[in-house]
Amino acid sequence: MNNILFRSGNNIEKSNYKVIFLLIIFLLFKIFYIGIYPFINGNGSLIIIFKPLIFYFIYYLILYLFNSKHDSYYLLSSLIIAFIVPINTSINVFIICSVIGNIIKCLFKNKISDLTFDLLIISLYSYYCGNFDMITFTGVFKYIYLLFIVISLIFLTINNLIKTKVLLFPLISIIIFYIMDNSSTWDITLFCLLFIVLDSRYSPITWYGQLIGGIVFSLLFFILKYICKLDYYLFLSLFLFELISIIINYLCVKLYGSKVFKFLFGD
């Protein structure tokens, strides 16, 4: 049991609100970049300023209606969705996809998380509509964004809020892929890596499971992007990563103490 990650000294709600604090900063930064800054320069509109907040409140309401238990996870998930979903996504598309995602999730008795499944459905639907352009920060905003990512990583690590052992292989892979292909999805990829892949809800429980999970996510990311060449590779990788994490957890428990386990990870 010593190999399993515990959030020492923090209860779940307090931990969630620390992450929510960071997510609010990211969302406000996005609103300033896509809405307020262009509006000040005469190129924006009020609807663009408020659209991420509209996505947030819609998604939170849908989660509230589809779930009997209500906690800070819904605030957290809604903030992540509001940051990731492109500003040009139709509100009607967003509502329909989120509702369908939650209906299917309920059929699976909540074994699939709200966030990754809804992101997958929204991205697939928007892809076929031809309008899923993820946000890309430019100029000085890009460096500010990267600074936010680094500070958030340090903050979450110090407070034991993420599974850092998952980070190694995906981070190396993303850096390599970024050098190979400086595409427009890297800003969102780093965000998803930090707030979804490393989150305890989605990644494997044990430290050795986390290492395996990091390798699995890296392979999924590479195969779906460069071999299958799917535009929605990121969200499909996240969805498959969560499903495979369930299998990894099961196998780690079953194989714990076996000769195979001792050979790979020691006693």
**Which amino acid is residue 10, in one-letter code?**
N
pLDDT of residue 4: 36
Q: Is the pTM of this model over 0.85?
A: no
Q: Vertex 241, ends 238 and 242: CA angle to 5°?
A: 90
**Mean pLDDT, consecutive 10-residue segments, the chain of 267 residues?**
39 81 94 89 82 93 82 86 88 89 77 76 77 81 91 87 69 67 71 78 70 81 78 82 80 61 49
Alpha helix (H) residue ranges in the chain: 12-31, 37-40, 46-66, 72-84, 91-107, 114-129, 140-158, 168-180, 186-192, 207-222, 233-255, 259-265
pLDDT of residue 178: 65
- With tokens 């697939």, the residue in question is 124
Domain residues of the chain, as ranges?
12-265
Q: Is 169 in contact with 218 (CB distance < 8 Å)? A: yes
Q: Vertex 40, ends 37 and 46: CA angle to 5°?
A: 80
Q: Of 94, 62, 59, give the one whose Cα is nearest residue 80.
A: 59
Determine the Cα–Cα distance for residues 79 and 83; give it in Å rounded to an integer. 6
For the chain, the first-to-last Cα distance in angstroms comes to 12
Q: Of 65, 122, 117, 114, give the one whose Cα is nearest residue 93.
A: 122
pLDDT of residue 21: 93
